[in-house]
Amino acid sequence: MLIRFLGILLLLFSSSSYAIDFLFDSFTSNDLIFTGDARIDASVIRFTIASNQFSMGRAFYPNSVLKTPDNTTIESFSSFSTSFIFSILPEISNSPGFGLAFVISNSTVPVGALSGQYFGLFSNSTVPSVAPLLVIEFDTGQNPEFNDPNGNHVGINLNNIESIVTHEAGYFNSTTEEFIPIDMRSGSLIKAWIEFDGKELGINVTIAPAETQRILAWSLTDQGVARDINTSNLPIFPPESSSSSPSLSPGSIAGIIVVSIAVLILLSSGLFWFWLKKKRGKKDDEEEKIQDWELEYWPHRFSYEELVKATNGFSKDKLLGSGGFGRVYKGTLANNTEVAVKCVSHDSNQGLREFMAEISSIGRLQHKNLIHMRGWCQKGRALMLVYDYMPNGSLYGRIFSKSRSPVGWQVRLRVLMDVAEGLNYLHHGWDHLVLHRDIKSSNILLDSDMRGRLGDFGLAKLYKHGQAPATTRLVGTIGYMAPELVKAGFTAASDVYSFGVVVLEVACGRRPTDMETIDEPLLIDWVRKLFEEGRILEAVDGRIAGEYKVEDMEMVLKLGLACCNLDPHLRPNMKEVVTMLMDIAAIPASSDCLFPEIQLNGIDVAGDISTVSKLSAITDPSPRT
């Protein structure tokens, strides 16, 4: 029997206090943990091998997902909402196998599970499993001994192979209220929604045909309703078959005639079109580029009218901030979702370039510590980006605000960890290397729980892993820019340098540069000098005195300096930074290791990065919106 099995296992380890929210519109090998025959094939997860009748595969989300104070009882689950799209191919019609399952457990290998049967999750016994096991089965095989109603049903299993409730696979038409069966073995695209109420112990499972001919995607959150999956530009699956000797039907002949007439009309209007195209010129070229993005990237396109209504006509009382690239407004969508609407300056030389960069980078990135782009809008030369609204503003604003109480050390340290994880994802966790190129505290936003999210991808660049980043014009912000940019251009190490500046900024409560006080040393120079004199703890922000362990703070300051090493080859990468922050790991105390002397264009910059301030193509340290 061909076993077609999908296990997306949400692992429940220790109690989790942070929100989970992810969406995969396609998959890479770094997204999940695969076992058995599960693998990535053209950005889609395949779980079985057609030539093996006993093939089975599993895919696990690698991180702890749901909060549970007691890992021995299913009743302690937190609530969640998820949706995904799947397809079961009828490769062997007389041996359909067992289908697939969505699984929640605290173990990747349930005790007593038989790998060749029962979804690879249970034994043939009706005795409840020892480990907590919640299974939503999309079953394409009938086992009468376990009271399966038929070979095409959806069931909910709790610690047992026998479902506590089942229903024939299908959905209700909302207009006619008619139940319409779905053959899950047909190869059609099927979308599943699963909502679990951990408090009331209620679960709701819904399936329906996917809205377009697209394949597997996955969205999950434990904060409200899971983000909807956008199915544009996902690979078509299964591939369409073609006949080797097609014949022309009467309808086809009629179609050829219609097409011929259409071609004549197009030819006769060609001169007019060329004249019109030339007249519109550059404006039309820009709008055409944007139309191409709409086909290539998935973020939702909002209508201009939607955003006008959401922001009360872009009124002044909704203005959150402004900068060299445009303005940001607070808005409320029709479903009461609060958003931030970024209006890119259409008269800026970098406006269209920034718009393209943000659409092409963050539009495809999904990580809990990156700002979530909800969509975009274009009307004429007006360009707008729509993000989740961050009610606590920027890290820069919270640290240096004179009207708010200072942010405590534990919050600061947690935000640094959040940003480190987000940057690690950009550098190592996605199918491309993403260089942010403008990491600074004003581009780190704080959500309602004071968790950090890295935003503003207007200067970001995408590269294939292993590809040497191209040398481009110098961009960035004074005080955050790595000194080697003068000679070598941007690399992942230059992002690490900028992050190191943020670490020092957060720990010291001091801006990287003070544009109004010329004689004031740069933050890095100041902390470096204190380190070399054995007085590094004197750099700590006095407002958080008594909130930290001395040894932990010392290590954080040394981590910041290590990230700002003048030799980019000696800086830690973001994987190492995350590990250091998690463990408050020891960093070498040798000043030679932290600050070796190097030469840039014949200028000795050891202990002095003031040459960066002489660069012209840079922005000031104020927030760029």
CA dist list (Å): 49 to 60, 232, 236, 300: 19, 27, 19, 35
Q: How far is CA 447 from the centre of its chain?
A: 16
Q: DSSP class of residue 610?
A: G
**Could you count the other beta carbons within 10 Å of the beta carbon of residue 512?**
21
Rounded to an integer, what distance in angstroms lies between the CA atom of residue 433 and that of residue 34? 22
The enclosing H or E element of 536 equals: none
Q: Which residue among the candidates 21, 438, 447, 541 is catalytic per the annotation?
A: 438
- Are 270 and 278 in contact, with CB atoms under 8 Å apart? no
Look up tokens 């992810």; give the residue. Answer: 22
Cis peptide before 483 (omega within 30 of 0): no
Rounded to an integer, what distance in angstroms lies between the CA atom of residue 357 and that of residue 375? 14
**Could you count the other beta carbons within 10 Å of the beta carbon of residue 290?**
17
Strand residue runs (E) in 63-124: 80-86, 100-105
Pull the structure tokens for residue 581. 């922050």
Strand, helix or coil at 531? helix
Strand, helix or coil at 565? coil
- Are 348 and 326 in contact, with CB atoms under 8 Å apart? yes
Find out whether 199 is annotated in a ligand binding site: no
- Are 141 and 98 in contact, with CB atoms under 8 Å apart? yes
CA nearest neighbour of 20 among 445, 389, 368: 368
Pull the structure tokens for residue 415. 């935000």
Rounded to an integer, what distance in angstroms lies between the CA atom of residue 5 and that of residue 496? 41
Residue 167 β-bridge partners: 154
CA nearest neighbour of 624 among 425, 430, 513, 476: 476
Q: Pairing mode, if any, of strands 373-379 and 382-388?
A: antiparallel
What is 451-503 written as a DSSP string? -EEE---TT-EEEETTPPPPP----SBTTTS-GGGGTT---HHHHHHHHHHHH
Rounded to an integer, what distance in angstroms lies between the CA atom of residue 600 and that of residue 487? 7
Residue 197 β-bridge partners: 202
What is 570-585 written as a DSSP string? GS--HHHHHHHHHHT-
- Are 433 and 467 in contact, with CB atoms under 8 Å apart? yes
Strand, helix or coil at 183? coil
* Residues in contact with 291: Cβ distance below 8 Å, sequence separation at least 6, in sequence order: none
What SS3 string covers 300-362?
EECCHHHHHHHCCCCCHHHEEEEECCEEEEEEECCCCCEEEEEEECCCCCCHHHHHHHHHHCH
Rounded to an integer, what distance in angstroms lies between the CA atom of residue 536 and that of residue 591? 12
Catalytic residue at 284? no
The annotated binding site for ATP is made up of 342
> Which residues are catalytically annotated?
438
The annotated binding site is made up of 342
